[in-house]
Structure 1
Amino acid sequence: MLNNKIYIFVLVVYLCLQATSCFASDKKESTTLYFDLGEKGGWVPFRNAEKNGGTSVFTDLSKALEADSGIQFQTVNFPQKRADKALIDGLVDFDFTCLEWFKGNDPGPEFVATEPFFEITEYIISLKKNTHLFPTPESIFGSRVGTISGYLYFDDDKFTRTDFLNESRLVLGLKNDRFKVIILERETAKYWAKINNTEIDFAALHTSGNLVMRLRKEHSALIPLLNQAVQRMKTSGKLQAILSSHGIDSKIY
């Protein structure tokens, strides 16, 4: 009887140690990825929510990915130029971006990208009275163009950038005739035009591409897991539900 009690005691201790070991191992192996949501008001409704207390597209995407993949996502908030350097320096692990914004669609040798989420479009935008001046993307070449400091434009060697700190000031610059044309993502432009009571017009398409996660190359082993999560978000309808909840009508590929 005594031997049986000793055996049971040893077995219980062993199982407890194993459970503790497994838990510690799981914690050790869990992955946390950091990404930047920028300053308040930047890239609404993608980085920042339209309303106080609301969520943005990127926070909703990260929560859905977290639930599916088990990867933890943490946000930070940097000014745009600081965010670019933080990604290069490894202070953040990835960003949501569009490869068509890069020259040659190349994010650089230090990065890898997931499969696409949905379509992103940037437009050449003017006041309605000036739309006829910009019928094609090439029509901005040689002109002063309103842009966002730190943002990427694949052809910015062909026009003169006039950088602003955020989208709201950019639209106000257009409204006040600081320049005749700007480049801005469609949904963001609609939002700030409404807020700033500016009658804009989408003169010509500048870029059309797909939103992806651009990860630092040391995280390349996570790409298959993330791609599986993205695919399940598409087939389950979760991705479409996120876009619809923010009033976004974009193609999902």
Structure 2
Amino acid sequence: MAVSDEWAPRIMAGPDGSAEGICSMVLRQVAEDLGLDVAFGFMPKPRRQAAFRRGEINVVPCASPMWEGVLADVAVYSEPFMMATEMVVVPAGTKGVFRSVRDFAGMRVGTIGGYVYHDGFDEAFEAGMLRREDAYAVTQNLQKLRVGRIDAMIVDDYEAAYWMHKAGWSESDFRVAYVFADPAPITVMLHASLRDFLPQVNASLARMRANGTLRALFAEYGPQKLAAHLTR
């Protein structure tokens, strides 16, 4: 059973409830190469992690070791098949230069429940330097940012671009204020009980990289990355 929280355009529920997006297509190809069937489901990250620990879920199609520390003793990871770059997005008219978390002091920052944030942001939330405003969908945070209910939001570059274009919003209404230092490798996370499948999973991913399948998936589920990321 493969379960994820929704993370467009990497993985998302289609009109009929089935999984769409880059990661779901990657996992379907891996499963086909291994001669296995795969069923997809969705749940928020805290519930998904608890179910994974209990062994009720044995595959997460889009995961990073950087974000799944609480599962370190029960999870193994494939080789990365893409990267995720997190950034802080603010309204276009926001003034100031943002070189570190300290430059966001006092702001209300939109986040996703259960997510871990590096570059000192989690510590700043804990210390009260910033106010963490959890939501369970990036679209909620984008709406709140547009109407001034939060001052900034942390979001992945692919996901920000996808939802802005999907909603018909202009990228010029937003500004990339800060880009996190270390992009996160995106992998297939397997329950440790499936460890023996890792070589086959990695071989399948290597074939997709070599034959252009991965490149085609990235193009199909564009826009790729927030264009403003290049003008920060």
Q: Normalised by the shorter chain, which TM-score bucket?
A: 0.7 to 0.9
Kindly provide the amino acid, as one letter, of the partner of residue 100 in structure 1: M
Distance in 2, Cα, partners of 1:178 & 1:111? 37
Kindly provide the amino acid, as one letter, of the partner of residue 55 in structure 2: G
Partner of 2:88: 124
Partner of 2:183: 208
TM-score, normalization: structure 1? Answer: 0.74
- Which entry has the higher C-alpha Rg, 1 or 2? 1
Match of 1:100 among 66, 82, 100: 66
2:207 is aligned with 1:232: yes
Partner of 1:146: 110
Matched ranges for 1:158-237 at <5 A: 158-159=124-125, 160-194=131-165, 195=167, 197=169, 199-206=173-180, 207-237=182-212
Partner of 1:60: 25
Q: Look up the SS of the partner of 2:124 in the other structure.
A: coil
CA RMSD of aligned residues (A): 2.5
CA offsets 1:159-209 (integer angstroms, 9 cap, x no match)? 232101211111111112122111011121123334173622211112412
Shift of 1:131: 5.7
Aligned length: 211
2:220 is aligned with 1:245: yes
Q: Look up the SS of the partner of 1:101 in the other structure.
A: coil
Distance in 2, Cα, partners of 1:63 & 1:70? 10
Match of 1:72 among 29, 37, 50: 37
Identity value in percent:
22
Partner of 1:35: 2
Shift of 1:71: 3.0
Distance in 2, Cα, partners of 1:132 & 1:139? 8
- Shift in CA distance, 244/163, structure 1 to aligned 2, threshold 3 Å: same
Shift of 1:229: 0.8
Shift of 1:138: 4.8
Which stretch of structure 1 is more off in the superposition, 139-148 or 186-195?
139-148
More helix by share: 1
Q: Look up the SS of the partner of 1:132 in the other structure.
A: coil
Match of 1:86 among 42, 48, 51: 51
Contact 2:162 2:223 in 1 (8 A): no
Distance in 1, Cα, partners of 2:24 & 2:42? 13
